[in-house]
Structure 1
């Protein structure tokens, strides 16, 4: 299982929603696209929306990198080691924002 977090500034919420809609419409391999979260939650440093995938492919990463525009994207595996998943095992597209590590279990 993988989680993908697409970060956006609040003034670009409409663009983020359009990207979310595109992902939902074009990707059968995406398990779920969650609604936009327009506040800080968990370890995330910006508003974001989340995508769940059973597995990650180079093709998906390249596709998302091409359509994400200027949005930063965090892709990470899901295991019982949240801190490592969000840091050492993470893939970033665009500017790396980091996460609030103190909010994650080691």
Structure 2
């Protein structure tokens, strides 16, 4: 299982919603697409929306990179090691924003 977080500034909420809609329409390999979260939650440093996927192919990563525009995207596995998942094991598309590490279990 993988989580994919698409970060957006609040002034680009409409663009983020359009990307969310595009993913829902075009990506059958994404198990769940969640609504926009327009506040800071968990370890995340910007508003974001989340995707869940059983696996992450090179094709999915390339597609996300081609449609994300200026948004940063965090892709990470889901294991018992939350801190490692969000840091060492993470893939970033765009600017690496980092996470609030103190909010993650080691």
Q: What range describes the TM-score normalised by the shorter chain of this pair?
A: over 0.9
Asked if residue 97 in structure 1 is aligned to residue 69 in structure 2, the reply is no
Q: Write the distance in 2 (CA, Å) between the matches of 1:85 and 1:74.
A: 10
Q: Write the distance in 2 (CA, Å) between the matches of 1:52 and 1:24.
A: 12
3-state DSSP of counterpart to 1:92? strand
Residues 30-49 of structure 1: pairs in structure 2 closer than 5 A? 30-49=30-49
Q: Structure 1: which 4+ aligned runs deviate by more than 2 Å?
A: none
Residues 1-16 of structure 1: pairs in structure 2 closer than 5 A? 1-16=1-16
Shift of 1:52: 0.2
Aligned position for 1:59: 59
Asked if residue 78 in structure 1 is aligned to residue 83 in structure 2, the reply is no
CA RMSD of aligned residues (A): 0.2
Alignment TM-score, normalising by the size of structure 1: 1.00
Q: Write the distance in 1 (CA, Å) between the matches of 2:73 and 2:104.
A: 18
3-state DSSP of counterpart to 2:44? coil
Segments of structure 2 that go 5 or more residues without pairing to the other structure are none
Q: Write the distance in 2 (CA, Å) between the matches of 1:29 and 1:58.
A: 12
1:1-59 deviations in Å (ceiling 9; x for gaps): 00000000000000000000000000011100000000000000000000000001000
Aligned position for 1:21: 21
